[in-house]
Amino acid sequence: MTDTLRPDAELAPVAEIAEAEGPLRVAMIGHGFMGAAHSQGWRVAPRFFDLAREPEMTVVVGRNAAAVEHAARKWGWAEAATDWRDVIARDDIDVVDVVTPGDTHAEIAIAALEAGKHVLCEKPLANTVAEAEAMTEAATQAAERGIRSMVGFTYRRVPAATFARDLVAAGRIGEIRQVRAEYLQDWLMDADAPLTWRMQKDRAGSGALGDIGAHAVDLTEYITGQKVTTVSGIIETIVPERPLLGESVGLSGTASTERGAVTVDDIALFTGRLDSGALASFEATRFRTGRKNALRIEVAGSLGAISFDLERLNELDFYDATLPETELGFRRILVTEHDHPYLSPWWPTGHMLGYEHGFSHQVYDFVTAIVAGTQPLPSFDDGLHVQRVLDAVERSSAAGSMWTPTD
């Protein structure tokens, strides 16, 4: 690891980046949970990282004027707007950050790229393979004009996850033999929790599979350096109907007595085969009782193994099979050293980072790539591949769990 601050090999060293004039003026389309997280990233990154161009939080966009004005004041955006098309057309916008539900990703991202704006788009890239293909084509054409795009698989930028990738790439666990990845949550355990957009296929594209399973797929591919080529899986909806949101819906929403159909999956279980032929097992569920945000991945190899758990995001478990038998066993690595990825600008050794820090790392990588004129990762093409994996899982489930190619 020659550059622990910026571990992505696609990015040029800081010394090679010419100082650019003027800020990068950002428009964020959408607000809510991801709006808060992305706002944190835009606001904090330039205060800890040396960026060649400082992000300027110019405008946040939402459909409800009162709600988006509240978000602008709370998160530090200079202004609020309700028409994303007008905002994208403005000359004083350089970057468009898309944090809307999946059914609008393609329209907004393509329009922004065609307008000459750099685009950061939340995952999954789109709701369908066709939409993701159109977005990737637009990104390819925009790149020819120097316009950059990236999909927001932020967990790649948790230092312990990045360090796991580094260990695997350095050959520390040898030949990869088996992977287990799972993303476990329980926030839908209550069968009377209201029907929101995340449970509607026309808005979200899929349920647990796309919402959190996409992270498990991307992190597996990132850490191993391999792609999922075929899958065999099953998806299931555990609670088929939920209370509709009432008419008097505030920022938190209220439920009515009427019920509507849940049109996405609640749980996805599938096996995947990697480029090397190694097998990987995946689980994505929002019904795993007692698990709050357990994104876990374990990679077993011929020389050792690594194990990461997002609920212990400052730690990495490492097993070195080359040690004498009397010394074997997983050992905990506390990933807080300044020589670990991303950590040198932060706190003294041993002081922990949290969930929100990954979004600052995302801003750092994205801005650095824009200024350097390189492709930020993960690219829209990477997002398209994950979309194809998700689609293959759905097709496999519909066909009775048969093996289904991802491309």
pLDDT tens-place string over residues 196-207: 999 999 999 999
Query: Which of 155, 178, 196 lies at the terminal end of a domain, its last residue?
Result: 155
Q: Which residues, listed in sequence order, are joined to residue 91 by a DSSP beta bridge?
A: none
- Are residues 134 and 235 both part of a single domain? no
Query: Which of 101, 136, 155 lies at the terminal end of a domain, its last residue?
Result: 155
pLDDT band at 245 (very low <50, low <70, confident <90, very high): confident
Model pLDDT, residue 281: 98
> Is 403 a residue whose pLDDT tops 60?
yes
| Percent of the chain residues topping a pLDDT of 90 | 89
Q: Which of 386, 11, 302 is nearest to 3 (CA)?
A: 11
- Are residues 116 and 253 both part of a single domain? no
Least confident of 21-25, 34-38, 99-103: 21-25
Instruction: Work out the average pLDDT over 308-331.
Output: 98
CATH of the domain at 175: 3.30.360.10
Q: Is 347 within a domain?
A: yes
- Are residues 100 and 221 both part of a single domain? no
Domain of residue 332 covers 159-312+314-353+378-405
- Are residues 132 and 179 both part of a single domain? no
Q: Is 360 within a domain?
A: no
pTM: 0.92
Model pLDDT, residue 253: 53
- Are residues 307 and 400 both part of a single domain? yes
Q: Which of 289, 264, 294, 287 is nearest to 188 (CA)?
A: 287
- Are residues 212 and 296 both part of a single domain? yes
> Is 243 a residue whose pLDDT tops 50?
yes
69-79 exposure pattern, b = at least 16 Cβ within 10 A, e = fewer:
bebbeebebee
Query: Which of 155, 177, 212 lies at the terminal end of a domain, its last residue?
Result: 155
Q: Is 372 within a domain?
A: no
- Are residues 129 and 223 both part of a single domain? no
CATH of the domain at 134: 3.40.50.720
Q: Is 362 within a domain?
A: no
Instruction: Work out the average pLDDT over 219-248.
Output: 92
Instruction: Work out the average pLDDT over 147-164.
Output: 98
Domains contained in the chain, number: 2
- Are residues 224 and 346 both part of a single domain? yes
Helix then strand then coil, % of the chain, to nearest 5: 35, 25, 40
- Are residues 191 and 67 both part of a single domain? no
Model pLDDT, residue 142: 98
